[in-house]
Amino acid sequence: MAKGYIIGHITVTNAEAYKEYVARDTPMFEAAGARILVRGGEAENVEGPQYARHVVFEFDSYQAAKDFYHSPAYQDVLKIRHANADSMIVLVEGYE
């Protein structure tokens, strides 16, 4: 079964308030069995819209990634990110 991924491109607009989002979403990703492959770090935007931060979370399946993202608990936490960052998030099925 192909893995599933949540890929995010983010520019934080309020760093202090964004810390609450990270503090709340990290244990949620861990509890869902997600593996953090990329979370920040050095990056070079070579094409397209420019974002300052990039994240990649791996799930056991595409459906697991979708279920996590659309869960009521995560949707509640997303409000914090939406208020304190500009972002583009993509759910992707991996290649087998």
Query: Per the structure block, which two tokens stand in for 89?
Result: 């998030």
- The domain spans of the chain are 4-93
Per-residue model confidence as pLDDT tens digits over 34-66:
999 999 899 999 999 999 999 999 999 999 999
Q: What is the pLDDT of residue 96?
A: 83
Average pLDDT of the chain to the nearest whole number:
96
Residue 48: partners with Cβ closer than 8 Å, 6 or more residues away: none
Query: Per the structure block, which two tokens stand in for 65?
Result: 């990634």
Determine the average pLDDT of the residues in 14-30.
96
Q: What is the pLDDT of residue 66?
A: 98
**Smallest Cα–Cα separation from 11: which of 91, 85, 96, 94?**
85
Q: Which residue has the tokens 């459906």?
A: 63
Residue 12 predicted with pLDDT over 90: yes
pTM: 0.92
4-93: what fold? Answer: Alpha-Beta Plaits (3.30.70)
Residue 8 predicted with pLDDT over 90: yes
